[in-house]
Structure 1
Amino acid sequence: MELVGIPDPETFCQLPWDKRVGRVFVTCFRNREERQNPGGHLTSDCRGNFKRIFMEEFEKKHGLELRVGTDP
């Protein structure tokens, strides 16, 4: 299965032990050519699920920005 990863520029960070290397986290989506739910959110993407389901609801309800670190 192929997927599409959209990078989140706010998560970009140079690695402290090698400034030539960096990391960035992505939100994963299903491939557009798939038969089921083409282009939809990848259900196994923990970070994307949390952001999509809980963060938006929390911000609407409380007017605060929720920040949680679930990435290694």
Structure 2
Amino acid sequence: MYRFLLGTAIAATATAAFAADAPVVLDQELAQPHISGYGELYVGGLYISVPGDHATGTAAGGAARVNFPIDARWNIQTDA
């Protein structure tokens, strides 16, 4: 019984999905490749208390990503 249900679920999810083509808009400009990216900063703290002793700690960090276009469909991503 479980094999039948599993087989039915696999067959239902493996079917092809068909969608309508996107409408063609002729007077709209296409987006041009440009440099893009984002950055983030974070700070955290920790306090641990054990009978007779306690400890604290803080941490800070960040990340940045920048994308440089080299073609209409390709770019180079740098991470720091």
With normalisation by structure 2, the TM-score equals 0.20
User: Which of structures 1 and 2 has the larger relative contact order (alpha carbons within 8 angstroms, sep 6+)?
Assistant: 2
Q: Which has the larger radius of gyration?
A: 2
Which one has the bigger strand percentage? 2
